[in-house]
């Protein structure tokens, strides 16, 4: 039509010859099997599976005792004032909503541990034995992974209820949305993993020296007792308890000095069944995001805020008067090893929080007369002290409970009295104690075991979970709150039965996974 | 594929050739892969021995570990860009006026963004995934004018760009939530997400009547957020889009002048229509240690202190009026735990106009410079970031872009220099 119409194909935008990646259907992925080629690689990989257990600081500090102690009648949050660590304040006073950062960090950390175990359990079986890893060691490494996966799921299920279950490698974003399984399904998986661990792990005496701190056969058996108690499967708990007492008799014993459990010398002692390992390591630092994990924050978090003690702490997790008053008159040994009240010269201006000036002695490494510390934190924030997860006294009392529930009064009484005897107390029956200011004049065996558990294990992160397991959280917490100081009471919301026994599923998770259904009441 | 039509060479415009140098209509369509994706986006790495994230204490020693911190997404694909554009190039009066008007629609399909996986996936960091299709569309106008009158030369170059960013498809169907952001169909990528802030409750009655079903106590001095679904409490269901990080208008303007040996140029740039989430202010005006020490909270802490209030009341001072005046916009740092929640309180306009560069130079006449066997000597002075007009309260609206954590601002620089050509 017109004479000058230029049509030109400017350039071909496609150039397959020089850009091979365009024609690849999926981007290149390096294979993880390239890493899993030696026994040494497997050992390193399993070492790393313990690490999320030790994590305490991401968006906020989220040590498990913020749940186990602070939510319970054993402790108040503490800290500088009520606004110091808002997330812990909410837990303490039953004001949590689904944005609680402790719940969010804690939830995420456990799943990072689970994902690490899942990866190991997928790849390690494919690795051939070599000079670093014989068949028995390979089995033990797998046992450690099963143990740790169970441990992470246990921490989740008793805090949040049923959660999504993942046992494989979740590397496909089209599979991300996942429903919550029932708590029972999660517990069944935990039991199955613990049994797989129990058959593969070695005894504590074979897991010493450079392996001290790894999961052992005794730890797996003790966990089988504990987890079955959470399922109220008392016969099964007793069965595993019997097995533990028979097979592990020479491996563990109660140490004569109760207080020595909470010293550096008492780490991994004869009473210790499983503990999270920390160390004074020069490169430990103060950075969020779970990065550095060699030292614990618990020591600095719980030490006195006083400037007169030589090493300032932040004063969290303060024992309550309610706990203090439940110790029997004769039980000063355990009470003084658990609770410390600094004298007027050493107590700081900020050591009193909502009516309590007590400090948690079990994690503070205080010297004998409470005028300072036996250990100075590295970098002022990172402590050395291991976190005891299960010790023999805990196992004895769980076993006593299982026996009591199944009608074996003899064994229940015997193991209750083992614990009392070490504390220098009269055997059951024949003593009284006070709960909430009311004298329990002739405690039943069940009452006596529950009382003993509180006194023996106070401030070690067990109490809240025990109250929920016994189904008495509402009754105990309501009675306790009524007795609190006016200042503390003013902050507390009433405990709602059937709601507050669980923490909310983090809101962030509900947003990222549309199939999650929030816990009742949040 | 591109198609162009040189309209000025058509017979019907022959008469216009005296003033029309160039008039070209262009049309283009193209589909390309994006090779700007980070090489590490789909490379699985394993974190090996080192103290961070993987080292553990066994036998009282730090032992090496190795773990995958973040799984690579095996469902990943390369992203592709599909672009339609139509443009008009023009030139008049022997180059005195030149310009381009261009419209474009660019769809990035399977756009790769770094996103957070649900916790049960076990990832430590966000990972790359093909989020969906992102559409960028807009119109750009570029105009330049150059002229010379005697010894005097000058030029003006301007650029105006109208743009819009929108997600048109989410591959997984469900939205992605990042840090204070949401990405979903129909929204700009990483739109700000949070509560709508309405101010501070002035009385307890106001608080309880606004939120009768609140599970935690709200009282005077606490932040008042819009109860979007009207259920009488504030929770995640009340979150909404509270800002857009993309400006709809971007522009720049440059003048340059030359007279004998003197050259002068000045360059302005600016954006309009975007918001910045001032996350630094969220920390400083929030709760906890940072806020306690923040100078922004100096008055706030006083007005929320009961002892001080009592003292003022005793002295006959109306502290409520003072609170309204000094701290009415900042809720009580010791109050409800949602007081520092992500909200429109921290969303600010990101508009700015900035004098980006100013240069003044002088080239010595050759008769002087050549005596020193130097071909050309130019001395100059340049100032950068000399002036910024903005309502943004953070350090720098330009580096803020999206969520501003208090990034280090661009510096204002002054530079003197000498160029020598030998």
**What is the model's pLDDT at position B310?**
81
Helices (H) and strands (E) in chain A, counts: 20, 8
Q: A197 near A150, Cβ under 8 Å?
A: yes
Q: Measured between alpha carbons, how far is B338 from B235 in angstroms, rounded to an integer?
A: 9
Which of the two residues, A21 and A443, has the higher pLDDT score? A443
Taking all residues of chain A, what is their mean pLDDT, rounded to a whole number? 90
pLDDT, mean of residues B105-115: 88
Is there a contact between A126 and A147 (Cβ–Cβ < 8 Å)? no
**B160-217: per-residue pLDDT in tens?**
999 999 999 988 777 888 889 999 999 999 999 999 999 888 888 999 999 998 877 7
Average pLDDT, whole number, for chain B? 87
Structure token digits, residue B329: 């916009």
Would you state the pLDDT for residue B326? 58
pLDDT (tens digit, 9 = 90+) per residue, B363-416? 988 888 777 788 888 999 999 999 999 999 888 998 766 899 888 888 899 999
What are the Cα distances from residue B131, in Å, to B35, B126, B169, B177, B288? Answer: 17, 13, 8, 12, 36
Cα–Cα distances (Å) from A112 to A29, A148, A361, in that order, read 21, 11, 31
Cα A264 from chain centre: 20
Q: Do the strands B275-278 and B402-404 form a parallel or antiparallel pair, or are they unpaired?
A: parallel
Query: CB distance A48–B54 less than 8 Å?
Result: yes
- DSSP letters for B251-263: EEEEEEEEETTEE
The predicted structure's pLDDT at residue A96: 85
Q: Give chain A positions within 8 Å (CB) of B123.
A: 112, 115
Our CA angle for A395, A71, B122, nearest 5°, is 75
Model confidence at B301, pLDDT cuts 50, 70, 90, reads low
Q: Which helix H or strand E contains A476, and what residues bound it? A: helix A473-483
- pLDDT for A19 equals 40
Contacts of B67 in chain A (CB under 8 A): 45, 48-49, 51, 116, 119
* B307, pLDDT greater than 90: no
Q: What is the pLDDT of residue A284?
A: 54
Give the confidence band of A13 by pLDDT, cuts at 50, 70, 90: very low
B82 has pLDDT over 80 = yes
Peptide bond connecting B315 to the previous residue in cis, omega within 30 degrees of 0: no
Residue B50 has pLDDT above 90, yes or no: no
- Angle, CA of A150, A511 and B349, to the nearest 5°: 135
Question: What's the complex ipTM?
Answer: 0.89
Q: Which of the pair, B299 or A243, is modelled with greater confidence?
A: A243
Q: Of the candidates A305, A310, A413, which has an alpha carbon nearest to the alpha carbon of residue A360?
A: A305
3-class secondary structure, A428: coil
Query: What is the distance between the alpha carbons of residues A225 and A182, in angstroms, rounded to a whole number?
Result: 21
Share of chain A above pLDDT 90, in %: 78
Tell me the average pLDDT across A265-285.
86
Strands (E), B321-393: 347-349, 352-363, 376-390
Average pLDDT of the residues in B25-31: 92
Test A44 with B51 for CB contact under 8 angstroms.
no
Q: pLDDT value at position A105?
A: 95
Q: Which residue of chain B is at minimal alpha-carbon distance from A119?
A: B68
* B-interface mutation test, from A350, A382, A386, A512, most B Cβ less than 10 A away: A512
- pLDDT tens string A465-489: 999 999 999 999 999 999 999 999 9
Question: Do A13 and B35 lie within an 8 Å CB cutoff?
Answer: no
Q: Which of A25-34, A378-387, A478-487, B309-318 has the lowest mean pLDDT?
A: A25-34
Give me the residue from A107, A171, A294 closest to B73, CB to CB: A171
Helix residue ranges per DSSP H, A129-216:
135-160, 183-200
Rg of chain B's alpha carbons, rounded to an integer? 29
Mutate to test the interface with A, among B7, B50, B121, B179 (most CBs of A within 10 A): B121
Nearest Cα to Cα of residue B377 among B321, B345, B418, B324: B418
What's residue A4's pLDDT? Answer: 37
For residue B259, list its beta bridge partners: B152, B262
**Mean per-residue pLDDT for A312-333?**
95
* Domain range annotation of chain B: 78-356+365-372+385-411
Share of chain A above pLDDT 70, in %: 91
Other Cβ atoms closer than 10 A to B236: 16
Q: Which of A448, A474, A397, A472 is nearest to A229 (CA)?
A: A397
Lowest mean pLDDT among A241-245, A363-367, B88-92, B331-335: B331-335
| C-alpha torsion A181→A186→A188→A192, nearest 10 | 130
pLDDT for B333 beyond 90: no
| Number of helices and strands in chain B (H, E) | 8, 22
d(CA B220, CA B323): 11
Q: What is the pLDDT of residue A327?
A: 97
Residue A293 distance to chain B (closest CA, Å): 7
Residues of B in contact with A14 (CB under 8 A): 31-32
Residue ranges in A331-429 assigned as alpha helix (H): 332-338, 392-405, 409-422
The rounded Cα A456 to chain-centroid distance in angstroms is 18
Contact status, residue B196 vs residue B344, Cβ threshold 8 Å: yes
pLDDT for residue A23: 43
- Report the distance separating Cα A412 and Cα A420, nearest Å: 12
Question: Which of B:151-210 have CB within 8 Å of A?
Answer: 172, 174-177
pLDDT of residue B327: 56
Tens digit of pLDDT for each residue in A117-167? 999 999 999 999 999 999 999 999 999 999 999 999 999 999 999 999 999
The pLDDT assigned to A25 comes to 46
DSSP state of B11: G
> How many residues are present in chain A?
522
Query: Is B160 in contact with B258 (CB distance < 8 Å)?
Result: no
- Read off the pLDDT of each residue in A420-443 and give the average, rounded to a whole number: 94
Q: How far apart are CA A186 and CA A194, in angstroms?
A: 12
Tokens found for residue B377: 């000597």
pLDDT band, very low/low/confident/very high, at A379 (cuts 50, 70, 90) = low
Contacts of A96 (CB under 8 A, 6+ apart): A87, A90, A103, A503, A504, A522
Q: Give the model confidence (pLDDT) of B230-259 as tens digits.
A: 999 888 889 999 999 999 999 999 999 999
Distance from CA of A206 to the nearest CA of B (A): 13
Which chain A residues are closer than 8 Å to B239 by Cβ?
none
Provide, as residue numbers in chain B, all residues whose Cβ is less than 8 Å from the Cβ of A37. Answer: none
CA distance A339 to A204: 31
- Whether the pLDDT of residue B87 is over 70: the answer is yes
**CA nearest neighbour of A141 among A123, A167, A115, A155:** A123
Write out the two tokens for B352.
Answer: 């700015």
Looking at residues A236-242, what average pLDDT do you find?
98
Q: Are A190 and B41 in contact (CB under 8 A)?
A: no
Q: Which residue has the higher pLDDT, A6 or B316?
A: B316
The single residue listed with the structure tokens 């993987």 is B54
CA separation for the pair B226, B195 (Å, rounded): 7
Enumerate the H helices of A231-365 as residue ranges: 234-247, 298-302, 321-326, 332-338
User: How far apart, in whole angstroms, are the C-alpha atoms of residue A111 and residue A89?
Assistant: 25
DSSP strand E in A36-152: where?
75-78
Q: What is the mean pLDDT of residues A200-216?
A: 96
Contacts of residue A98 in chain B, CB cutoff 8 Å? 235-236
Q: Return the pLDDT at A518.
A: 94
Contact A375, A278 (CB under 8 A): no
Tokens coding A254? 């109660």
Least Cα separation, residue A129 to chain B (angstroms) = 18
**A254: pLDDT confidence band, cut at 50, 70 and 90?**
very high
* Token representation of residue A189: 């998986």
Confidence of residue B302 (pLDDT cuts 50, 70, 90): low
Q: How far apart are CA A325 and CA A327, in angstroms?
A: 5
Per-residue model confidence (pLDDT) at position A285:
54
Task: Please give the sequence-ordered ranges of beta strands (E in DSSP) within B289-392, or none if there are none.
Answer: 347-349, 352-363, 376-390
Classify B360 as helix, strand or coil: strand
Largest CA distance in chain B: 93
Quick one: tokens of A153? 């799921």
How far separated are the first and last CA of chain B, in Å rounded?
A: 46
Are B174 and A277 within 8 A, CB to CB? no
Q: What's the CA gap between B206 and B99, in Å, rounded? A: 59
> What residue in A sits closest to B332 (Cα-Cα)?
A83
Determine, for residues B53 and A2 on separate chains, whether the beta-carbon distance falls below 8 Å.
Answer: no
Which run of H or E residues covers position B417? strand B413-421
């Amino acid at each position: 039509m017109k004479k000058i119409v230029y049509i030109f194909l400017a350039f071909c935008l496609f150039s397959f010859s020089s850009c091979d990646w365009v024609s690849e259907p999926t981007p290149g992925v390096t294979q993880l099997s390239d890493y899993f080629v030696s026994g040494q690689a497997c050992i390193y990989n399993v070492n790393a599976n313990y690490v999320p257990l030790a994590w305490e600081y991401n968006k906020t500090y989220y040590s498990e005792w913020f749940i186990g102690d602070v939510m319970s009648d054993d402790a108040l949050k503490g800290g500088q004032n009520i606004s110091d660590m808002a997330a812990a304040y909410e837990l303490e006073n039953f004001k949590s909503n689904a944005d609680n950062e402790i719940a969010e960090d804690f939830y995420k950390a456990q799943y990072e541990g689970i994902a690490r175990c899942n990866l190991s359990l997928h790849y390690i079986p494919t690795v051939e034995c070599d000079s670093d890893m014989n068949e028995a060691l390979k089995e033990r490494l797998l046992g450690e992974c099963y143990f740790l996966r169970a441990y992470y799921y246990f921490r989740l299920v008793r805090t949040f209820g049923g959660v999504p279950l993942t046992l494989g490698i979740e590397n496909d974003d089209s599979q991300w949305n996942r429903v919550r399984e029932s708590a029972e399904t999660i517990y069944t998986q935990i039991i199955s993993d613990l049994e797989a661990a129990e058959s593969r792990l070695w005894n504590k005496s074979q897991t010493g020296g450079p392996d001290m701190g790894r999961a052992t056969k005794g730890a797996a058996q003790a966990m089988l007792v504990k987890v079955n108690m959470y399922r109220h499967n008392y016969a099964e708990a007793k069965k595993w308890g019997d097995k533990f007492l028979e097979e592990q008799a020479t491996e563990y014993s109660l140490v004569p000095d109760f207080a020595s459990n909470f010293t550096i010398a008492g780490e991994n002692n004869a009473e210790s069944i499983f503990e999270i390992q920390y160390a004074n390591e020069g490169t430990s630092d103060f950075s969020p995001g779970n990065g550095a994990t060699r030292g614990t924050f618990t020591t600095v978090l719980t030490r006195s805020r006083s400037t007169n003690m030589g090493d300032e702490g932040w004063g969290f997790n303060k024992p309550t008067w309610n706990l203090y008053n439940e110790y029997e008159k004769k039980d000063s040994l355990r009470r003084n090893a658990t609770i410390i009240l600094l004298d007027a010269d050493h107590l700081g201006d900020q050591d009193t929080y909502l009516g309590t000036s007590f400090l948690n002695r079990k994690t503070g490494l205080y010297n004998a007369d409470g005028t300072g510390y036996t250990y100075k934190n590295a970098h002022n924030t990172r402590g050395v002290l291991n976190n005891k997860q299960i010790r023999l006294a805990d196992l004895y009392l769980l076993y006593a409970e299982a026996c009591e529930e199944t009608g074996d009064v003899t064994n229940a009484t015997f193991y209750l009295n083992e614990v009392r005897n070490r504390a220098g107390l009269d055997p059951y029956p024949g003593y009284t104690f006070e709960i909430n200011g009311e004298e329990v004049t002739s405690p039943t065996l069940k009452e006596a075991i529950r009382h003993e558990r509180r006194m023996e294990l106070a401030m070690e992160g067990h109490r809240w979970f025990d109250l929920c397991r016994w189904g008495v959280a509402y009754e105990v917490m309501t009675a306790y709150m009524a007795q609190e100081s006016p200042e503390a009471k003013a902050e507390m919301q009433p405990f709602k039965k059937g709601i507050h026994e669980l923490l909310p599923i983090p809101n962030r998770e509900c947003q990222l996974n549309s199939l999650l259904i929030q816990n009742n009441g949040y | 594929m591109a198609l162009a039509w040189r309209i000025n060479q058509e017979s019907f415009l022959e008469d216009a050739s005296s003033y029309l140098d160039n008039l070209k209509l262009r049309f283009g369509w193209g589909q390309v892969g994006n090779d700007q994706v980070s090489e590490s986006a789909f490379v699985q790495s394993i974190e090996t021995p080192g103290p961070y994230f993987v080292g553990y204490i066994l036998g009282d020693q730090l032992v090496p570990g190795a773990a995958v911190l973040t799984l690579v997404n095996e469902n990943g694909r390369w992203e592709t860009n599909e672009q339609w554009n139509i443009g008009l190039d023009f030139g008049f009066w022997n180059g005195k006026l030149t310009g381009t008007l261009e419209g474009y629609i660019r769809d990035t399909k399977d756009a790769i963004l770094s996103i957070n996986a649900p916790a049960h996936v076990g990832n430590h960091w966000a990972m790359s995934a093909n989020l969906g299709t992102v559409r960028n569309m807009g119109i750009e106008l570029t105009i330049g004018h150059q002229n010379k009158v005697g010894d005097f030369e000058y030029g003006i170059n301007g650029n105006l760009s109208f743009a819009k960013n929108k997600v048109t498809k989410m591959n997984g169907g469900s939205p992605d939530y990042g840090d204070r952001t949401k990405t979903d169909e129909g929204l700009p990528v990483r739109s700000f997400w949070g509560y709508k802030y309405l101010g501070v409750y002035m009385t307890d009655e106001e608080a309880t009547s606004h939120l009768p079903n609140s599970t935690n106590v709200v009282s005077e001095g606490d932040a008042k957020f819009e109860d979007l679904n009207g259920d009488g409490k504030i929770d995640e269901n009340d979150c909404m889009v509270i800002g857009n990080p993309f400006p709809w208008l971007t522009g720049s303007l440059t003048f340059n002048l030359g007279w004998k040996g003197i050259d002068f140029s000045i360059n302005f740039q600016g954006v309009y229509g975007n918001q910045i989430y001032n996350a630094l202010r969220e920390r400083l005006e929030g709760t906890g240690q940072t806020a306690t020490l923040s100078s922004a909270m100096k008055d706030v802490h006083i007005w929320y202190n009961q002892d001080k209030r009592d003292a003022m009341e005793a002295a006959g001072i109306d502290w409520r009026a003072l609170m309204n005046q000094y701290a009415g916009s900042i809720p009580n740092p010791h109050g409800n735990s949602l007081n520092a929640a992500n909200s429109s309180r921290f969303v600010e306009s990101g508009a700015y106009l900035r004098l980006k560069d100013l240069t003044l130079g002088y080239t010595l006449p050759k008769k002087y410079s050549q005596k020193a066997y130097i071909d050309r000597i130019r001395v100059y002075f340049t100032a950068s970031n000399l002036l910024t007009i903005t309502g943004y309260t953070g350090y720098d609206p330009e580096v803020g872009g999206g969520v501003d954590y208090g990034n280090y601002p661009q510096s204002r620089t002054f530079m003197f220099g000498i160029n020598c050509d030998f």
